[in-house]
Chains A and B, each alone.
Chain A
Amino acid sequence: MAVTFTCPASKLVFERSCFLHKNSRHVTNVLEHHFNYGVDILIPDCDSIPLHLTSLMVNSRFFLTERLPLAILIDKEFVEAFVKKGKLYMLSYGTAIDRDNCVAIVPPGILILNLTKDTYQELGLVGKPTVFQKKLPTKYVVEINLTEEYFTPGKNYYERVKWCLTDRLGLVFDFLVAWLPHEDQISQSSVPAYLCNKGFRSRAFKVSEEITFKKDVKYPVIDSNDFDGHGEGGNSDNDCPITSSTKYDEQKKGGTKSDGQLKSGDFLCSYTEFWEWLGAFTCGLDCDGSPDDFLSTFSCPDPVSISPSCCQCKYRGFILPGTINCLIESLRDYMKSSTSPWACVTVHGFTDSPVSWRRNEHGHHKGGENLYTFVLFPSEDYWLYMAVGTHDICPP
C-alpha cells in the first residue's frame, strides 16, 4: 500500500542502421505506423529549405466525413472500390480511446472496432478483450477483415456483421479519411465524392505548414557510429550492420538525464541525451540552464556546436505513411548535397488511435504518445527512435 511516486512506464526502442543496407527496415517501420497527425523536421546549418521537400507535404489532402454509419464501410461497392484497391486509411474523429468507441480502417483492409464493454455486449460481434486490463477489461477489440473472400453479401458472416451494424446497434462516427489510389489518374477525393453521393457531407482539409528559421542555435554534436557517446572509433563503412535494438524501460533506467550530464569522459553526445535535447528544443524550451539556476539546470549536452541558421518545419494533419516515406527519401537526397551534420524527422501518431504499429493495440493511460524519430546523416546512416506510452505494446 506504500505510495511510490514513479513515472508512468514508457518504452523506447533505439535502432542504428544504414539506408543502403539490404535488411534495413526503415520503409516498413514508416509504412506500418498508420495514423500520423504531425511531422516535425529539424535541420541545423540550413538557410533555406528546398521546395520539393515541402511541396509533397503541402499537396496532400485529407477529408472529414460527418456522421457516417459503420454499415456503409462494409458495403460491397465501397469495399471493392476503395478498400481492395489502393490504400484506405480511416480513423474515427473526436473519440477518446479510453472512454469512447473508436473505429479505424487500416490497409490491407482491416476494420478495427475498439469498443466499450456496453457497446461490445450490445453489438454481438466476436472480439477479444483489451490486452492492457487482464482482470476486468473495460474495452474490447473487434477486427473484421473486409478483403476476405467469405466477406461477401449472401454469406452468413457478412449478413451477421451487417445485421449487427445496422439493426442491432447503428453506430455512427465522424471519420478522418485519406485514400492512396492504386493508379495516378484516380483522384484522392473519390472517397468523399462517393460518400457525398450516398448523402454524407465531407469537408476537405490541407496539411498545415509552419516553417521557422532560428539563428545562433546551440545543438549537440553526434556521430552516427558512436551512439553511446564514449568516443570509440566507429565503423565508417557505409554498409554497416544493424546493431541490436536497445529496448529499455524508462522506468528501470531512471535518472538518465543527470547520469548523461555528469559523465566527464564523453567525447560526443549519447543517443539518450540527444533524444531529450530534441524534445526540449522542439517544445521551444530554453536550453541554457546553468548549474546554479533555480528553475532549470537543463542545458544542451556537450559537445555543443552553434548553428548560424536552423530550420524547423511543422506539419499538422492526417498524414499518410507513404507521404512520410517520400519525405525521408527527399531528405536523404538533400543531405547528400548539404553541409548539415544531421537532420531530424519526428512523426507523431494519434493519441486516440486504436493501433500504433501494424495492428498492435494502442491505449491511453496517462498519455497516449506513439511517435518515432529518424536522425539522418550524410553518410546514409540513420538513427531511429520509436517511443510508446504505458498502454502500448513494444514497437517492432
Chain B
Amino acid sequence: MVRLKNRYYLCEIIPTGEKKQGTHLVGGFTERLVFKAVQKEVQDLHGDYGQGVLMGSFSVSYLNPDTNMVMIRAGRDYHRLVGSALPLVKKIGHQEAFLRTIHLGGTIRSCQKFLIKHNKQFVKSATEGVDVADPEVKEQGNG
C-alpha cells in the first residue's frame, strides 16, 4: 500500500515592518497569504519544476495569528525544495516579514508536541525573575 508521507515545517513569522503593536502585527496574516508567498518563492528559485512538484501536497496546515506560528506541509520526497525557499521569503501579503524555521516534523502531532515544549520554554524565560504574585506585575497585566 502506498503511504503518502509528508513533512511539516514549523515556522515563526517575524514581521520587520514599521507597523507594530506589542509583539505582533494587528490585522495579521492568513494561511492564504503565507501560501502565496512561499509558492512565489519556490517559483522564483526552482522554476516551473518546483511549482509542478509542489502542486501535489503543499499547503499551509495551521496558522496562529496571535503567536505568528505557521505549519507548512510538503510531500516527503520534495520537502527540501520548500525548505530551501522558506528562508528567502521577504514579504507576506503587504507586510515585510520573514520566516524562521523552528522545527521539521513528520506529523502534525510531533510538531504540536514540539510547539508546546517551545512555548513552555519561552514562557519560562520570559517570566524569569518576575514574581507573578507581585501586585505591580498584576496591575500591568490587567492594564
A and B, direct touch (CB closer than 8 Å) = yes
Chain A nearest Cβ from B104, distance in angstroms: 15
List residues of A (1-25) whose CB comes within 8 Å of B's CBs: 1-2
Chain B nearest Cβ from A4, distance in angstroms: 10
Interface presence of B78 (CB below 8 A): yes
Question: CA separation between A198 and B19, bound complex, in Å?
Answer: 96
Write the chain B residue with the least CB distance to A1.
Answer: B77
Indicate with 1 or 0, residue by residue over B50-87, a CB within 8 angstroms of chain A CB atoms.
00000000000000000000000000111010000000
A-B contact count (CB 8 A): 5
Residues of A within 8 A of B77 (CB): 1-2
Chain A nearest Cβ from B78, distance in angstroms: 6
Residues of B within 8 A of A2 (CB): 76-78, 80
Write the chain B residue with the least CB distance to A2.
Answer: B77
User: Which B residues have a C-beta under 8 Å from some C-beta of A?
Assistant: 76-78, 80
Tally A residues with Cβ within 8 Å of B: 2
Question: CA separation between A1 and B56, bound complex, in Å?
Answer: 14
Question: CA separation between A2 and B77, bound complex, in Å?
Answer: 5
Residues of B within 8 A of A1 (CB): 77
Which secondary structure dominates chain A's binding surface?
loop
Question: CA separation between A1 and B80, bound complex, in Å?
Answer: 13
Question: CA separation between A377 and B76, bound complex, in Å?
Answer: 54
**Interface CB pairs A-B, < 8 A, 5:** A1-B77, A2-B76, A2-B77, A2-B78, A2-B80
Write the chain A residue with the least CB distance to B78.
Answer: A2
Chain A nearest Cβ from B93, distance in angstroms: 31
Question: CA separation between A1 and B77, bound complex, in Å?
Answer: 6
Chain A nearest Cβ from B58, distance in angstroms: 15
Residues of A within 8 A of B78 (CB): 2
Residues of A within 8 A of B80 (CB): 2
Residues of A within 8 A of B76 (CB): 2
Question: CA separation between A8 and B121, bound complex, in Å?
Answer: 48
Question: CA separation between A2 and B76, bound complex, in Å?
Answer: 8
Which 5 pairs from chain A and chain B are nearest by CB? A2-B77, A1-B77, A2-B78, A2-B80, A2-B76
Chain B nearest Cβ from A2, distance in angstroms: 4
Question: CA separation between A1 and B76, bound complex, in Å?
Answer: 9
Chain A nearest Cβ from B134, distance in angstroms: 55
Question: CA separation between A1 and B78, bound complex, in Å?
Answer: 9
Chain B nearest Cβ from A177, distance in angstroms: 50
Question: CA separation between A158 and B78, bound complex, in Å?
Answer: 58
Question: CA separation between A1 and B57, bound complex, in Å?
Answer: 14
Chain A nearest Cβ from B80, distance in angstroms: 8
Write the chain A residue with the least CB distance to B79.
Answer: A2
Question: CA separation between A2 and B80, bound complex, in Å?
Answer: 10
Question: CA separation between A161 and B91, bound complex, in Å?
Answer: 75
Chain A nearest Cβ from B6, distance in angstroms: 13
Chain A nearest Cβ from B23, distance in angstroms: 38
Question: CA separation between A1 and B5, bound complex, in Å?
Answer: 12
Indicate with 1 or 0, residue by residue over A335-351, a CB within 8 angstroms of chain B CB atoms.
00000000000000000
Question: CA separation between A92 and B110, bound complex, in Å?
Answer: 62
Write the chain A residue with the least CB distance to B76.
Answer: A2
Chain A nearest Cβ from B84, distance in angstroms: 13
Question: CA separation between A2 and B56, bound complex, in Å?
Answer: 13
Chain A nearest Cβ from B75, distance in angstroms: 9
Chain A nearest Cβ from B47, distance in angstroms: 14
Chain B nearest Cβ from A288, distance in angstroms: 32
Chain A nearest Cβ from B83, distance in angstroms: 12
Question: CA separation between A2 and B75, bound complex, in Å?
Answer: 10
Write the chain A residue with the least CB distance to B80.
Answer: A2
Chain B nearest Cβ from A228, distance in angstroms: 35
Question: CA separation between A1 and B79, bound complex, in Å?
Answer: 12
